[in-house]
Structure 1
Amino acid sequence: MAYRPLADEIRPASLDDVVGQKHILGADGLLRRIIESGSIPNLVFYGPSGTGKTTVANIIAARTNRTLRRINATTGSLSDVKDVIGEVGTMMAPNGILLYLDEIQYFNKKQQQSLLEVIERGDVTLIASTTENPYFYVYNAVLSRSTVFEFKPVEAGEVLPAIDRGVSIMAKRLGGVAEFEDGVREAIASSCGGDVRKAMNAVELLMNAAARQRGKLVVSLEDARLVAQRSAMRYDRAGDDHYDILSALQKSIRGSDPDAACHYLARLLEAGDLISACRRLMVIACEDVGLAYPQVIPIVKACVDAANMLGLPEARIPLGDAAVLMATAPKSNSAHIALDEAMADVRTGKTGDYPRHLQNKHADSAGMEREQGYLYPHDFPNHYVKQQYLPDRLKGVHYYVYGENKTEQAAKRYWDEIKGKEEG
C-alpha cells in the first residue's frame, strides 16, 4: 500500500469535522449556509496554511457532485487552466468542474485575467486560495466576481481533538497502544502555530519514533518539545506576516507597552530577521519618541550598531534595551507631522520665491548687486532676531506645533519668552 501522510488521511469529509473556522463554518456561519444551499459562487479563501482551505474545497466538490480539479499556481500555467476547461461536458466532468487554484498570488496579472473566462462560465466554479492578503495580490476583476472568506489560525484547544484522532490512526498503523507523557498533546497543539497540518506532521513523526515498551508506543514530553522547537513561528520575510509583526512592534512601542514590544521583537529575532528589527527600531526612535526625548535617537543608533556587531543571539541584548527604553519613554510625533504638512504643500506647488535676504550671496555677482538685507541672529541678544523666512506665499503658515511633553514645553517656554521680549 502506498504511503499516505497522516495529514492527508485525517482530512475531514464533513463540515462538522473541520477544525476551527467557527466564524464561517459554525451552525449559523455564512460559508456553511452557502455550501448547504448547493449554489456555490466563485470563492477566494484567504488565510495561513493548514487552516482548512483545501479541506473545505474538497467538501464543496463532494456536496455539489462536481469534479474537483486542483492547480497549484506555483507550478501551474495557463495551459493547465485551459486543459481543465476542456474537460467540461465530457465524461470526465459530466456535472461541471470545481477548479481549486491554490496560491493564486503566484499567478501574474495576465494569468489572473485569463481566469475571467472560467469565472464567467456557469459550468466551472473557481475556488482560489491564498496565504497573502487578496486585496493586495489578487487581480481586482477576479475579486469583484468572487466572495472572499478569511480562514484564521486554529486555537490550540481546537487542535487537541484532531491530535487525538491522529494518534488513534497512527496507533492502528503501528500496531500498538499510544502512551503520551503528561503535556505532550498540549505541547504539540500550542507549538503548531494554528496549523493543523503541522500538528499532524508532529504526531506522525513522534509516533514513528516512539519507544516500544511492552506493546505500548511511548512518546516523551522531551521529544515533543524538540519537535516543537520554533515550529509555532509564522513568518515569511516577503509576506504579510513580516509587515504585520513590524507594524505590531511599532504600535506597541508607540502605545507604551513594553511587554508587547518585547513579544514582537522576540518574534522577529526568533525568525532571524535582525536587519528588519534594527531598521524599524530606528524608525520608531525618530517617528514616535522624537522630540519628547531626542537623546533616544543616538542611543537607539548605538544599540543597533552594537546588535549588528554582535550578531544573533547576543544582538537581542542591546535591541531589548532599545525597545523597552522607547516603550517607556515619553512620545512625540510633532516634528515629522510638521514636515509631512510642509511636504504636502511642496507637492501641490504651494512654494513661492525665497525671500531675498535668505538667498546665497552668489546672487550678488549675477546682476543683483542690491543689498541682501539678511540679519545675522548671532549678532543679536539670545541669538535671535525677528525676520521673515518663509516665502511670501506662505507667510504666517505654521507647520510645527509644540508637543505636550516636558522637553518640547520647556522649549516653548524658552522661545515664548525670548520672542515675546524681542517682538515687544
Structure 2
Amino acid sequence: MKEPLAFRLRPQTLDDVIGQEHLIGQDKILRRLVEEKRLFSLIFFGPPGTGKTTLAKCLANELQVPFRLFNAVTGNKKELDGIFLEAKLAPGLVVIVDEVHRLNKDKQDLLLPHIEDGSIILLGATTSNPFFAINPAIRSRCQLLEVKQLTNDDISKAIQRALTHPQGLQGYTIDEDATNLIARHSNGDVRYALNILEICALASNGSITKDTVSQYSQFPNSNMDAGDDGHYDAVSAFQKSIRGSDVDAALYYLARLIQAGDMDSIERRLLVIAYEDVGLGNPAAVARVVSAIDAAKRVGFPEASIPLGVAIVDLCLSPKSKSGANAISNAMHEVQHQALPVPEYLRLTPVSLKEEDKYDYDSPEIWPHIQYLPDSIKNKHFYEPNTNSSYEAQLAKNLQELRKITKFNKISKIPRKTR
C-alpha cells in the first residue's frame, strides 16, 4: 500500500524544509552545526506538524551520521539496551526520540549517563513546553530549540511543492481559493494540510477546488487536546483577555474552548476569574457567573454557549478588583511565615482569664474595639481596597473609619463610655 503523502514528502535535507528560518537560515544554529560538522543533544519543541522530528532527521542526514529512532511511548527497555550496546561500539550515536516528554523515570535514568558522557546524542521532539514537561535532569543536558507554527504562506508553499514533487501529486492542479482554505484550516500543521490535500485529490477529477476542500475539511484543525500546550495557552489567553477587559478576545477564546467541548475548564476558569479578577469590583456579576455556569451545565452544548457568552460580556465590562484575592494571598503568606497563637481572650474556652477580660458575647458595642490579631502583627493590613468601583469605594470608606478605632488587647481596659 502506498505511503501517505505527508510521509512521502518528508524533507531529507535542511534545504527541503519549509519555514523555520530562525533555525535553518544563513548563520542560524542548525545551519552552523552542519557547516562545522558538530552536533550535541537538542530538544525541538513546538506545535504538531511543524517538522520537529523532520529537522532532527535532516540534521543527521546532512551530517551523514547514523541514527536510531525511539518512541518514548511505545519503546521499551530491550530497545534501549540495544541502542546502548551500539553506542559502546560507535560513541556519539544519534538517537531521535519522539514524544520525549513521555519518557518515564526508568527510561530517563537509563539514558542520563549515556547523554552525560556523549556516547549518545539525544535529538528529542515534543509538543509540550519543555520547561514543564521535560525532566530537569534531561533538560539540563540538552539545548532547547523552538520550532514555530508555520504561516499560511508556508503551508501554501508546501501544497505547491506537493503538486510538483516526483513523489507527490503530479498532474493535479489546485485553485488559489482551495489553497488558501487548506492553509487556514491547517492551523500551521503541514501534515494536516497534506492529508487534506491528498484526500481532496482522490475525490477530484484532477482539479482541486474550494468546494472539494470545503466538503472534506469542514472545520479548522485545532491543537486543543486536553492536557497539551495549545489547550493551556487558550485557557491562559481566555483569563488574560477578561482581566484586560477585551470582550471580543475573551469571546474568541471562549469559542475555542467551547469548540473543544471543554466545559470543565470553562467552569473552573470562569469561577476563578470572577472571584480573582472582578471580585469586589462587581460582586453582583460574580453571582451572575455562578448562575450562568449552572444554566450552561443544565442545557449542555451547543445552547450552553449562550449563558456563557452573556457571563463573559458581563465580566469583561465590569470594574476589576483583585483586592479580595490579594488580601487572602497576603494572609496566607503571613501564616506560612510564622504561626502565632490565638490571643487568649479570643479562644473558645479561655482557662485562666478573669471574667472581665473574657470575650463578652452580649456587648456588641465593644467588639470593634477588641484587638483580634496577635500582638506581633497587630498593625498588619492584609486587605487594601481598590476604589475603581462604587461598591468597593464604599467598603474603603467604611474600612477607613474602622481603622481609626483604637483597639485593646485586654478587654477590661476598653473605656467604659464605649461599653
Secondary structure of 1:3 counterpart: coil
| Residue among 94, 100, 116 paired with 1:98 | 94
Name the aligned partner's letter for residue 401 of structure 1.
E
Identity percentage over the alignment?
37
Change (3 A) 1:171 1:50: closer
Please state how far the C-alpha of 1:312 moved relative to its aligned partner. 0.7
Task: Give the structure 2 partner of residue 80 of structure 1.
Answer: 79
The more displaced of 137-146 and 185-194 is 137-146
Change (3 A) 1:413 1:359: same
The alignment status of 1:416 with 2:373, answered yes or no, reads no
- Quote the Cα distance in structure 2 between the aligned partners of 1:291 and 1:353: 28
Task: List per-residue Cα deviations over 1:294-324 (Å, max 9, x = no partner).
Answer: 1122100000001101111111111111112
Q: Is the 8 A contact 1:43 1:147 kept in 2?
A: yes
- Quote the Cα distance in structure 2 between the aligned partners of 1:9 and 1:15: 16
Change (3 A) 1:202 1:374: same
Name the aligned partner's letter for residue 150 of structure 1.
E
- Quote the Cα distance in structure 2 between the aligned partners of 1:241 and 1:95: 37
Task: Give the structure 2 partner of residue 138 of structure 1.
Answer: 134
Please state how far the C-alpha of 1:232 moved relative to its aligned partner. 2.2
- Quote the Cα distance in structure 1 between the aligned partners of 2:175 and 2:92: 50
Secondary structure of 2:234 counterpart: helix
Task: Give the structure 2 partner of residue 386 of structure 1.
Answer: 369
The alignment status of 1:370 with 2:387, answered yes or no, reads no
Q: Is the 8 A contact 1:44 1:149 kept in 2?
A: yes
Please state how far the C-alpha of 1:258 moved relative to its aligned partner. 0.8
The alignment status of 1:13 with 2:12, answered yes or no, reads yes
The alignment status of 1:400 with 2:388, answered yes or no, reads no
Question: Number of residue pairs matched?
Answer: 407
Change (3 A) 1:143 1:87: same
Report the aligned-residue RMSD.
2.6
Return the TM-score normalized by structure 1: 0.88
List aligned pairs for 1:338-377, cutoff 5 A.
Answer: 338-356=327-345, 358-360=346-348, 363=349, 370-374=355-359
- Quote the Cα distance in structure 1 between the aligned partners of 2:370 and 2:88: 83
List aligned pairs for 1:51-66, cutoff 5 A.
Answer: 51-66=50-65
| Residue among 153, 163, 182 paired with 1:188 | 182
Please state how far the C-alpha of 1:141 moved relative to its aligned partner. 2.2
Change (3 A) 1:122 1:353: closer
List aligned pairs for 1:257-272, cutoff 5 A.
Answer: 257-272=246-261
Q: Is the 8 A contact 1:253 1:261 kept in 2?
A: yes
Secondary structure of 1:296 counterpart: helix
Q: Is the 8 A contact 1:43 1:126 kept in 2?
A: yes
| Residue among 308, 320, 325 paired with 2:314 | 325
Q: Which runs of 5+ in 1 are unaligned?
A: none
Please state how far the C-alpha of 1:273 moved relative to its aligned partner. 0.4
- Quote the Cα distance in structure 1 between the aligned partners of 2:182 and 2:229: 25
- Quote the Cα distance in structure 1 between the aligned partners of 2:374 and 2:210: 72
The alignment status of 1:201 with 2:195, answered yes or no, reads yes
Secondary structure of 2:356 counterpart: coil
- Quote the Cα distance in structure 2 between the aligned partners of 1:85 and 1:385: 73
- Quote the Cα distance in structure 1 between the aligned partners of 2:84 and 2:220: 39
Task: List per-residue Cα deviations over 1:91-134 (Å, max 9, x = no partner).
Answer: xxx79632101111111122112112331454532211111122
Secondary structure of 2:355 counterpart: coil
Please state how far the C-alpha of 1:379 moved relative to its aligned partner. 4.5
Q: Is the 8 A contact 1:192 1:232 kept in 2?
A: yes
The more displaced of 19-28 and 287-296 is 19-28
Please state how far the C-alpha of 1:48 moved relative to its aligned partner. 1.7
Name the aligned partner's letter for residue 207 of structure 1.
A
Change (3 A) 1:379 1:60: closer
Question: After TM superposition, where is structure 1 displaced by more than 6 Å over at least 4 residues in a row?
Answer: 421-424
Name the aligned partner's letter for residue 154 of structure 2.
E
The alignment status of 1:310 with 2:293, answered yes or no, reads no
Q: Is the 8 A contact 1:7 1:200 kept in 2?
A: yes
Q: Is the 8 A contact 1:42 1:146 kept in 2?
A: yes
Change (3 A) 1:170 1:36: closer
Q: Which runs of 5+ in 2 are unaligned?
A: 408-417
Name the aligned partner's letter for residue 66 of structure 2.
T
Secondary structure of 1:87 counterpart: helix
- Quote the Cα distance in structure 2 between the aligned partners of 1:379 and 1:144: 62
Change (3 A) 1:115 1:378: same
| Residue among 157, 164, 170 paired with 2:160 | 164
Name the aligned partner's letter for residue 110 of structure 1.
D
| Residue among 204, 223, 236 paired with 2:225 | 236
Change (3 A) 1:377 1:97: same
Name the aligned partner's letter for residue 234 of structure 2.
I
Change (3 A) 1:377 1:228: farther
Change (3 A) 1:144 1:417: closer
Q: Is the 8 A contact 1:47 1:130 kept in 2?
A: yes
Q: Is the 8 A contact 2:46 2:146 kept in 1?
A: yes
Q: Is the 8 A contact 1:353 1:392 kept in 2?
A: no
Return the TM-score normalized by structure 2: 0.89
